[in-house]
């Protein structure tokens, strides 16, 4: 099994933080900021492929 590069690990962490942020702000009722966080997570996820 190949080792994960630091760059890929950083992008995965960015996606996870963005998704966690989206969930937390959505639970507080800030739907616009939740959508923005999802967009940031999706943009970061593009770099994983």
- pLDDT tens track for 6-19: 999 999 999 999 99
Report pLDDT for 11.
Answer: 95
b/e per residue 4-37 (b: at least 16 CB within 10 A): eeeeeeebeebbeebbebbeebeeeeeeeebeeb
Confidence of residue 24 (pLDDT cuts 50, 70, 90): very high
Nearest Cα residue to 41 out of 22, 27, 28, 25: 22
What pTM, to 2 d.p., does this model score?
Answer: 0.87
Report pLDDT for 12.
Answer: 96
DSSP classification of residue 29: T
Report pLDDT for 40.
Answer: 96
């Amino acid at each position: 099994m190949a080792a994960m590069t630091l760059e890929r690990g950083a992008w995965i962490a960015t996606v996870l933080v963005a998704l966690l942020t989206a969930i937390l702000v959505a639970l507080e009722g800030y739907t616009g900021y939740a959508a923005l966080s999802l967009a940031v997570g999706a943009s970061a996820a593009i770099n994983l492929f």
